[in-house]
Amino acid sequence: MALNTALTGINAAQTDLNVIANNIANANTAGFKGSRAEFADVYAVTGLNLNSTATGSGVRTQDVAQQFGQGDIETTNNSLDMAISGNGFFVVNDGSGPVYTRAGAFQKSADDYVETSAGAKLQVYPPNGIGGFDTSTLTDLKLVSSQSNATATSLITLNSNLPASATVPATAFSTSDATSFNAATPVTVYDSQGGSHQATIYYVKTGTNAWDAHLYVDGNNAGTQSMTFDTSGNLATPANGTLAFGAVNLGNGSNPLTLSLNITNSTQFGTDFAAGSIEQNGFEAGTLSNIDIDSKGVVTAYYSNNQSTQLGQIAIANFSNVQGLRQLGSTNWAASGDSGVAQMGTAGTGTFGSLQSGALETSNTADTTAQLVNMIKAQRNYQANAQVLSTDSTLANTLFSAVSR
């Protein structure tokens, strides 16, 4: 009896050592979660009212429970490395369906998808076209590495001040005669191919509180529009604050450029001419310069022309019983009946943890000191049970010797 009981103890200690060895072996595995061997005593079935005399039959391994404690967050400065601080798992698709991981060491594939080293693609909520994300569906995250298309300028916004004391020029307007206009404002505009051009607005006073605006693009006349101010110096006409000019053919293969000026906030005060703020809505083509992932998992591509595009929002999953997840290896888990279905969401909302890019979560067994202490305990348990085997064998030999005499 004692032999069998000691054997169960040795087997249990061996299981404990195997679990600890696996924890230590993965001390440097990003996103790894350690396990703990849990044991239960064994009693043989006894007759009625005989439990008080039962000595027990040893021990058995009841569970190897996963421990989902938080690992340390270490900065890597790799923009595709990500770590979750708090609850949740990244969702990746390995081709057979969604699996879940805490290991955020992602990389760009040859075809621009973001994936794990094993080729499982990171899942995100796609943009919905109105500034948000469609949380009803998941898609593979793909980095848009192509150029950002150019956009032709269509609107220039000016907040100029024209001097109320200006006089009507004595000579007819000419871009080559500085005495024929009162002020000028240059601004760079872009055509449909992203080429830059020099536009200039010339201001000519035509009467009391009345002005003309002449627009030229690369020396090409786009037309003339009039505007007036009230006695307080505020814009009176046009009523909508917009001067619309004709199309200019730039002769370079791009579409004709049609420009409007928004002068709603322009004034005519008694101070000197001031160009004020100038903005235009066109831009040249740009190349991808950076990928940024914020704390809520929004992935944004930035281009050299100061434009940006949101590529998706990283999906985060959680479970009512994370210890019920089924281990797949490679720091991946799959949902099971014990874990419950995945509860989907985004980082930083509800019970989901926050996301940090340029960092990785280290193994929660990285503190090998604690693991080594556990190993010493398991080793002593093994030795103690082995000593029981030795003692029981010695006693058996003594008994056999006495009987044979």
Instruction: Evaluate if residue 393 carries a pLDDT over 70.
Output: no
pLDDT of res. 175: 95
At 121 the pLDDT is 97
Lowest mean pLDDT among 33-47, 77-91, 150-164: 33-47
Q: What is the mean pLDDT of residues 240-262?
A: 95
Instruction: Report the C-alpha gap between 237 and 182 in whole angstroms.
Output: 19
pLDDT in tens, 350-365: 999 999 999 999 999 9
Q: Token pair of 383, please?
A: 């030795």
Instruction: Report pLDDT for 392.
Output: 64
Give the per-residue pLDDT at 179. Answer: 96
Q: What is the pLDDT of residue 36?
A: 93
Question: Residues near 205 by Cβ (< 8 Å), separated by ≥ 6?
Answer: 162, 166, 167, 168, 169, 182, 211
Residue 72 scores a pLDDT above 80 = yes
Report the alpha-carbon distance of residue 139 to residue 360 in Å, rounded.
Answer: 23
pLDDT above 90 for 171: yes
Return the higher-pLDDT residue of 372 and 396.
372
Q: What is the mean pLDDT of residues 196-207?
A: 96
**Architecture of the 170-265 domain:** Sandwich (2.60)
pLDDT band at 125; cut points 50, 70, 90: very high
Strands 257-262 and 155-158: parallel
Mean pLDDT score, 39-46: 79
Alpha-carbon distance values, 163 to 62, 179, 225, 231, 237 (Å):
89, 16, 18, 13, 17
Instruction: Give the pLDDT of residue 384.
Output: 85
Examine the pLDDT at 287 and tell me if it is beyond 90: no
Looking at mean pLDDT, say which of 7-21, 55-69, 286-300, 333-347 comes out highest: 333-347
- pLDDT (average), residues 180-202: 95
- More confident call, 132 vs 1: 132
Mind listing the pLDDT tens digit for each residue in 365-384?
A: 998 888 899 899 988 988 88
Residues 227, 203: Cα–Cα separation, whole Å: 10
Query: 153: which residues sit within 8 A by CB, 6+ positions away?
Result: 189, 190, 191, 199, 257, 259, 280, 281, 282
92 has pLDDT over 90: yes
Residues in the chain: 405
Both tokens of 373, joined, read 């202490």
* Sequence spans of domains, the chain: 2-69+367-404, 73-147+287-361, 170-265
Strands (E), 230-353: 235-237, 242-248, 257-262, 278-280, 288-293, 298-303, 308-318, 326-329, 332-334, 343-346
Contact in structure between 203 and 213 (CB atoms under 8 Å): yes
Mean pLDDT of all residues belonging to the chain:
91
Q: What is the pLDDT of residue 396?
A: 67
